[in-house]
Chain A
Amino acid sequence: MSKTFLTGLLTTGALLSSVLTAPPVMAQAPAAAGKDWSTPAGSLNGQRFSSLNQITNENAHKLQVAWTFSTGVLRGHEGAPLVVGDTMFVHAPFPNTVFALDLNNDGKILWKYEPKQDPNVIPVMCCDTVNRGLAYGDGKIFLHQADTTLVALDAKTGNVAWSVKTDDPSKGATGTDAPIVVKDKVYVGVSGGEFGVRGWFGAFNTADGKPAWKGYSIGPDSDTLIQPGKTTDLGKPVAANSSIASWQGDQWKIGGGATWGWKSYDPQTNLIYYGSGNPSTWNPKQRPGDNKYSMTIWARDADTGAVKWLYQMTPHDEWDYDGVNEMVLADQEIDGKPRNLLVHFDRNGFGYTLDRVTGELLVAEKFDPAVNWASKVDLDPKSETYGRPQVLPQYSTEHNGEDVNTTNICPAALGSKDEQPSAFSPQTGLFYVPTNHVCMDYEPFRVSYTAGQPYVGATLSMYPPKGDTNMGNFIAWDARTGKIVWSDPEQFSVWSGALATAGNVVFYGTLEGYLKAVDAKTGKELYKFKTPSGIIGNVMTYEHAGRQYVAVLSGVGGWAGIGLAAGLNDPHAGLGAVGGYAALNQYTSLGGTLTVFALPRD
């Protein structure tokens, strides 16, 4: 990489706000992360790409642990710390402790924030008490606590600047997502799809926490901020109250569509992108219709929340394929034409490439060959089923019905990929995707709704695809063609977010606890180190005092820690088969540690 290009990236990277107010540049992706890592994905485009290049594919094998830090919490640690200037901000799962560490002073604790939260919120957090991290802006650190308190902390002192309640945990709503800050607003979503919560996405003023707008996933247009006739769905304007029209009766009021995933932003269009999750309940028979707009990619105006376009990937979900995974914004050429792309690896196993300005669907291909529930996504604009997955009846839990166990569906409910975010390298033009290679049996049944109680409605069991023993792969993907470029098998699902760097190195973590560095072009392993606990956090990088560091939180947990702790069982191995697959609890145990790596000083 040329030095001028690098400096260009660095200045824009450090001054995101200047990009936002800069005159519109011809279709150019927003900056990469540089010395700082000031937003959950490093940059608002969600690329998780850093322009730092001290650590390269040539020297990564020399990496060493520079320092470590314990959060004092022994639960699943998702997300990544932020670095702003000389300070690192580290978050933890419930009770959602936040630490500010002084990078000039060996990580000395500058301040610590520990909210008092009602422990009754713990079991409402389906599958572990994770939190996906912090956002920074306006001199403040933002945290969406488990109890749905959005709090702004003075970045210098840790004092609470303001706090607002965004939802009600006694009804099953919780906060687990990492906010992002764009201009003068901070954006958050909500968890609770397994409790019949009605999902929403909201903007709050960074100055005082005043709500700016809130757009529900489901409901009348006045709630969803869909503009009938103007908002488009695959290029076509949507009709009035299209969400409610796709449900029967009042089911939409407890219809799910939670919004706990990653968010990204494009200054060129002023659109904010995110996905909505599963419709409630998991029993499809109890909610006839397309259940709009669960399982949907949303593009909203960042200032007003008005929906520019949307696309429902899995209409009438029958497998819990939440659509909340990250939206990565990248500019690439397709068929010789420069396009402003949004790339999304969905739980349902399809990698989608869309035009992020118009919402046009360009590519939808399986990113794990095991995916079998649908033959393909219909890409013919003239077809009646345009944009819809072609579901195979044998894997349709709706078709097979209640109290019937539908077997060998790939992927499992946790998806070919869950929340663990992918990374994009503008240098290689490739996406780096942590994946799950797991299938399932799924049996839906009738459930009744009680506010604040789980509202699930299906039993499932999971196992690797027939003939395979690896439960994960780390892949490189070409979103222009929808093809896997290389694939590194992993014993367990890869549940850690990836990082791509200008040094031609890609990083990720494994459930056993390894931090791995691989060559961005070939996937060849360059370095690995076993951290104190399994990794479900995202790898990040920053520069301090002229040195590049790579950091990751370890602390096994989340869905992965629950499903894989005792090892999966093969339900089709016949009677007497015991623990067919590797058990995670033979490799790692609970923890909560930040491990920071660097090259040795010579």
Chain B
Amino acid sequence: MTRYARYFLAAGVASCLMGGLARADKPADPAAVSSEDGKYADKDGRPTFNVGKDGKVDFYTYIGYVRYTANCMHCHGPDGLGSTYAPSLVNSLKSLDYADVMTTVANGKKDVSESSQLVMPSFGENKNIMCYIDAIYIYLRARSVDAIPRGRPQDHEPKPKDFSETEDSCMG
């Protein structure tokens, strides 16, 4: 088992990755149908967001914002909107599903030629990212369907009770 798979395990998503999902034409309906310890899932069991009528977001969406902005923003731009350096993930996630995002973040992606120098680094070894990758995905998923506006979510559900423990054991 690779090291990043262990981080995935810690984040509780290994089962999805191992399934070897193909790139979907369109990601599934993001509506949350279930939740466990403050983490929501869609009808296929994939992580998703939950936004209340008052704009209050689930804790993962909020942490996803924080971790996206610390680890991805300096290439993909503020709020997932893209930059002169890397594509808009708000757009990308309109067609990428969970497995695509996991694979790209863990392994990286390259488009290098005479006229293009696009390199997405591989973060499989990076705990600061892999321990939060579900949250980052959930945040971007919410952004991609316009469920949340730009900027820091103003209000969020409380920190789930096991969150810190899982975080500590993943970060080591």
Q: Which residues of A contact B (CB under 8 A)?
A: 72-76, 94-95, 119-120, 122-124, 126-129, 194, 405, 441, 443, 445-448, 450, 453-462, 556-557, 559, 561-563, 565-566, 568-571, 574-579, 585, 590
Contacts and interface: CB of A to CB of B under 8 A. Distances in A.
Given A122-B117, A456-B71, A562-B85, 6 more contacts: A74-B116, A126-B74, A127-B74, A450-B125, A450-B126, A460-B69
A75 B117 contact: yes
Contacts of B166: none
By Cβ-Cβ distance, the 5 closest A-B pairs, closest first, are A561-B84, A566-B81, A123-B121, A562-B83, A122-B119
A95 B117 contact: yes
A454 B84 contact: no
Contact of A461 (B78, B82, B112, B120): B78
B158 to A, nearest CB: 14
Contact of A119 (B70, B75, B82, B110): B110
A501 B127 CA distance: 51
A562 B76 CA distance: 7
A575 B149 contact: yes
Contacts of B23: none
A576 B54 CA distance: 11
B84 A556 contact: yes
Interface residues of B, number: 41
A561 to B, nearest CB: 3
A4 B152 CA distance: 62
A128 B77 contact: no
B87 to A, nearest CB: 11
13 contacts: A75-B85, A76-B84, A119-B117, A443-B66, A448-B171, A459-B66, A461-B69, A557-B84, A561-B83, A565-B81, A565-B84, A570-B151, A578-B149
A562 B117 contact: no
B34 interface: no
A454 B126 contact: yes
Nearest to A455: B128
A562 B74 contact: yes
A562 B77 CA distance: 5
A126 B74 CA distance: 7
The main secondary structure of chain A at its interface with chain B is loop
B83 A566 contact: yes
Contacts, number: 124
Nearest to A95: B117
Contacts of B171: 446, 448
A566 B82 contact: yes
B15 interface: no
Interface string B91-132: 000000000000000001010101111011101011110000
Nearest to A119: B112
B79 A569 contact: yes
Contact of B152 (A74, A441, A455, A562): A441
Contact of A453 (B110, B114, B115, B123): B123
B154 interface: yes
B150 interface: yes
Contacts of B128: 447-448, 453-457
B115 A74 contact: yes
Given A127-B74, A556-B84, A461 B152 contact: yes
A73 B119 CA distance: 15
A524 B83 CA distance: 33
Given A119-B110, A453-B125, A556-B84, A566 B77 contact: yes
Contacts of A455: 128
A565 B77 CA distance: 7
Contacts of B83: 561-563, 565-566
A577 B74 contact: no
A574 B66 CA distance: 18
Contacts of B160: none
Contacts of A561: 83-85
Contacts of B66: 443, 445, 459
A576 B119 CA distance: 33
Nearest to B121: A123
Given A123-B119, A448-B171, A453-B128, A458 B151 contact: no
B78 A577 contact: no
B84 A128 contact: yes
A72 B116 CA distance: 10
Nearest to B74: A127
Interface in B136-171: 149-152, 154, 171
A172 B152 CA distance: 29
A445 B71 CA distance: 12
Residue from A76, A461, A562, A585 with most neighbouring chain B CB atoms (10 Å): A562
A319 B9 CA distance: 34
Contact of B150 (A194, A456, A579): A579
Interface string B54-73: 01000000000111011101
Contacts of A194: 74
Nearest to B155: A575
B70 A459 contact: yes
B151 A127 contact: no
Contacts of A76: 84
Contacts of A562: 73-75, 77, 83-85
A128 B127 contact: no
A503 B2 CA distance: 64
Contacts of B88: 566
B20 interface: no
Nearest to B123: A453
B127 A590 contact: no
